[in-house]
Copies of this chain bind each other. A is one copy, B any other.
């Protein structure tokens, strides 16, 4: 027998993620996925039974990965400023690779009603909120609900990238020009968040 080959299963998942997260094709069918992966559609069903199960898995893994990624940076032993710099770097990279991941997640929640509470570790976030609050008391950053600080940060990081198909047309820029604009933002966001 062939040694239990995890390759194909992984290929299907990563292809699904490519279509959903990279290309923003939220309506991709199992046929679309099979085509993009260069295989028969039955393989998709063989490994994941139904489209819904594949999507549920992609959803769960996406949440887990994001949670882990952010959790690592948030709970790292670093000075606050460095941590924010880390968050900006890590999250910008993630968004550049998967611009529509969050769009997929929110749409899935809206349509299938997934429950992500069980899929994320609240710990790092809640202790990071405390850290933000301390920093506010130190006067490094403006005093508000620390949730606003986090929301602002992710807004400035995510929105421009996930909405790039709209804003690229709006500002009449090609993909490269827009990428340069995004690159400028790492420093810009840093300046905006402090002071």
Taking Cβ atoms with an 8 Å cutoff, the residues of A that contact B are 23-27, 100, 102-103, 105-107, 109-111, 115-117, 120, 122, 125, 142, 144-145, 147-148, 151-152, 154-156, 158-160, 162-163, 165-167, 169-172, 181, 184-185, 188, 191-192, 195
Contacts and interface: CB of A to CB of B under 8 A. Distances in A.
B188 A144 contact: yes
B147 A24 contact: no
Number of copies: 2
B125 A188 contact: no
Given A116-B169, A151-B159, A158-B159, 11 more contacts: A24-B110, A26-B27, A27-B111, A100-B106, A102-B166, A103-B103, A107-B107, A142-B191, A145-B181, A147-B181, A155-B160
A172 to B, nearest CB: 8
Contact of A111 (B26, B105, B115, B188): B26
A194 B87 CA distance: 24
A25 B170 CA distance: 25
B148 A154 contact: no
A25 B152 contact: no
A194 to B, nearest CB: 12
Contact of A156 (B23, B111, B156): B156
Contact of A110 (B23, B158, B172): B23
B148 A110 contact: no
Contacts of A25: 110-111
B151 A116 contact: no
Given A25-B111, A27-B111, A156-B156, A106 B144 contact: no
A159 B163 CA distance: 10
Contact of A24 (B107, B148, B172): B107
